[in-house]
Copies of this chain bind each other. A is one copy, B any other.
Amino acid sequence: MNKSRLEAFSDGVLAIIITIMVLELRIPEGHEWSDVQVLWPKFLSYAISFMYVGIYWNNHHHLMHTVKKVNGGVLWANLHLLFWLSLFPFVSGWAGESHFAANPMTSYGFVALMCGLAYTILVAAIVKADPENHLLQEATGGTGDRKGILSVIAYIFATAAPFLGQGGVLLSGLLLIAVALMWLIPDPRIERILQQTEVQRRG
């Protein structure tokens, strides 16, 4: 089976998800700065969600690069991931609209968590479809894998924290931003630490 249409379809869906989120930024009726200032939570939510979808596209891009065989399981695991990613516009809009209230933040954390799990399932389905592909083993193990586990743990806390009140909501938001930055910025220190642990584990 051909992986190029899987990439093309995923690119299409991700491109639409990342772009329709901007439709949640409703055009204000007035034309004063104050009319736009009230939109700041939506802008912030949009920017963070844009980063998230961008990170998924980026990782998906890297992951597919090493894939050689695609089967039915991989197609469905990919659609499952796209389903959860497609809920980002909803939870992103709700979080912004509600000025980051507790329940919307929990929802955002939950969708981020499900995306993280769906990505893990996709990786597993890909590895299962082509167990001999050493390049793939390399690419999906190691640092990327550890970042993935760290992210899922952070998402669980981000989902649960808002139940603890206003401080929990703030923690949830900080965790979600921290995960985005962890994937975004290739921080040499973090990379080094992760690599050292890697070396120790392997050695």
Q: Which of A5-13, A119-127, A141-149, A194-202 contacts B (4 or more CB under 8 A)?
A: A5-13
Q: Which residue of B lies closest to A60 (CB)?
A: B5
Contacts of A89 in B (CB 8 A): 22-23
Chain A residues touching B, majority SS: helix
Report Cα–Cα, A93/B90, bound state, in Å: 15
Contacting residue for A97 out of B11, B24, B27, B76, CB 8 A: B27
A166 within 8 A of B: no
Closest-by-CB residue of B relative to A83 is B50
Q: Are B13 and A186 in contact (CB under 8 A)?
A: no
Given A20-B23, A25-B90, A86-B50, A103 and B32 touching (CB < 8 A)? Answer: yes
| Chain A residues engaging chain B, CB cutoff 8 angstroms | 1-2, 5-9, 11-20, 22-25, 27-33, 36, 47, 50, 54, 57-58, 61-62, 64-65, 72, 75-76, 79, 82-83, 86-87, 89-90, 93-94, 97-98, 101-104, 107, 184, 186
